[in-house]
Amino acid sequence: MRRSRPLAPARSTKLLRALLAPVLLLLLGAPSADAAPAGPAAHANTADPSACALPGTTGWTDEGHRTDYSVFRRPAGTIKVGMIFVDFPDAPATESPADDAARLTPGADWIRNASYGKVRLAITQHRRWVRMPHASTDYHFARGLSHEEHEAYLRDAVTAADPAVDFSRYDMVYVVATRNAPAISFTPTYVYEPGTAGVVADGNRIKWSVTFGQDMWHWGPKLVGHETAHTFGLPDLYAFDTAADPDAHRFVGGWDVMGLIAGKAPQYFGWESWKLGWTADRQVHCRASAGSGTVRLTAVEYGSGTKMAVVRTGPTTAYVVESRRAVRADAAACATGALVYKVDTSAQTGYGPVHVMDARPGDAPASGCRPLDDAPYRAGESFTDSAAGVRIDVLSADARGDTVRITKS
């Protein structure tokens, strides 16, 4: 098993991490209209949602609010993406660029649906192979790839394509390597570090790019959802550290595309949709002080209704409960119900910024499912963290969502 790993922190060491997709880890309708006002969720003593919008503290991709959009791409509206195709002196392409593109471009529809129509990727394909100046083995993917090495790879690709591509037209660039180049083994995301030379073409600074490698043939279109969301500021939810525990997906299982890309329920967590602005403050039930209240949650796969209840437990921590149903992005979900998870915005990418709470830790997962895939709480069940003074009771459920009682003591 090979995993991605973080590199040096961004601002403190003058390096940005290359955001890496997991490599060869464990195999495993239309969007709603703009969110409607929250349903019958408001009760006395609930706080303004801003009281539950935890700050990020890592200086890079984390689950905190107030994303630095001078560094990351604002996840809204139409994002114009130029897709170019590269091969190498030691690995000339023999397939059609269209074959490679077909593996990825459905990811644009996936993001549009998962963002409730708030983000649309307009991908322009430049269907010709451009030759990189160096052998594929010279680009250092085998040893992990620093930010500078990744930037050099992107620069070579953009320079090679520049005679035929007007890069001033694009907000973001996708670089797709030929399937014949196994040395380009994984798919890192590039984010420009302010104050450095970076990559410039046609008067346009390339601030965001995804450079697709061999793992695209394993992960498929949802790899676009994972990697592009890194340019929006989302962290990795799978575990970088597998020395003590080899299960890289022990934090969230298959519940979010930022964890296991091939997970059974890859819809972004409601917390992340809120962070990204796809879920409005009015759709969040916040409890930041002692009290109790009942809230009707509409499943996060839909865009309308109240999407989550948040119980703040500390300066950078909170419990979240949201409803999950086997529809849309989560049509293959192994279980449904009220999903409870803990958010810690001080946790770095790959080190557990989200932990799903398992309603039935002693049960073996069903065939084709994995641990945590059966984590949701059902009607009549409760989650309790006595030390944090948090209790979440699931009162009832139907096809569209769950009604829960949130108590903070």
Q: Is residue 87, in this structure, part of any structural domain at all?
A: yes
Same domain, 287 and 187: no
Residue 172 lies in a domain: yes
In a domain, 41, yes or no: no
Q: Reply yes or no on whether the pLDDT at 269 is more than 80.
A: yes
Give the span between the Cα atoms of 253 and 36, in whole angstroms.
30
| 210 and 119 together in one domain | yes
Rounded CA Rg of the chain: 21
Question: Quick one: 284 and 208 in the same domain?
Answer: no
Are 214 and 308 found together in one domain?
no
Q: What is the mean pLDDT of residues 115-128?
A: 98
pLDDT score for 142:
86
3-state secondary structure 303-343: CCCCCEEEEECCCCEEEEEEEECCCHHHCCCCCCEEEEEEE
Task: Tell me, yes or no, whether 317 and 345 share the same domain.
Answer: yes
Say if 334 falls within a structural domain: yes
Task: Render the burial of 37-49: b for 16+ CB within 10 Å, e for the rest.
Answer: ebbebeeeebbeb
151 shares a domain with 55? no
Claim to verify: residue 56 and residue 77 sit in the same structural domain:
no
The predicted model scores a pTM of 0.91
Q: Where residue 75 sits, what CATH number does that domain have?
A: 3.40.390
Amino acid identity at 279: T
Four-point Cα dihedral 114, 115, 117, 120, nearest 10: -100
Q: Which residues, 6+ apart, have CB-to-CB distance to 231 below 8 Å?
A: 72, 73, 172, 189, 191, 208, 210
How far CA 121 is from CA of 12, 106, 273, in Å, comes to 32, 10, 17
Q: Counting every residue, how long is the chain?
A: 409
Of the pLDDT bands very low, low, confident and very high (cuts 50, 70, 90), residue 45 is low
Residue 178 forms part of a structural domain: yes
Using one digit for the tens of pLDDT, what is the confidence trace for 191-224? Answer: 999 999 999 999 999 999 999 999 999 999 999 9
For residues 339 and 387, state if they share a domain: yes
Instruction: Tell me, yes or no, whether 33 lies in a domain.
Output: no
Element (H, E) at 350: none
| Mean of per-residue pLDDT scores for the chain | 91
Count of domains forming the chain: 2
In a domain, 35, yes or no: no
Mean pLDDT throughout 130-141? Answer: 97
Q: Check pLDDT > 70 for residue 409.
A: yes
One domain for residues 159 and 298: no
The answer on 227 and 295 residing in a single domain is: no
Highest mean pLDDT among 8-22, 133-147, 384-398: 384-398
Q: Which of 223, 257, 239 is nearest to 330 (CA)?
A: 257
Domain boundary among 231, 262, 284: 231
- Give every CB contact of residue 177 below 8 A, 6+ residues apart in sequence: 86, 87, 88, 136, 184, 211, 212, 213, 214
- Containing domain of residue 277, as a range? 49-66+247-408
Average pLDDT over residues 1-26: 36
Whether 77 and 172 map to the same domain: the answer is yes
Among 207, 231, 255, the domain-final residue is 231
312 occurs within a structural domain = yes
Strands (E), 42-151: 77-87, 119-131
At residue 46, the pLDDT reads 74
The percentage of residues in the chain with a pLDDT greater than 90, rounded to a whole number, is 88
| Amino acid letter, residue 365 | P
pLDDT digits (tens, 9 = 90+) for 27-44: 333 333 333 333 333 344
- In this structure, are 252 and 213 located in the same domain? no
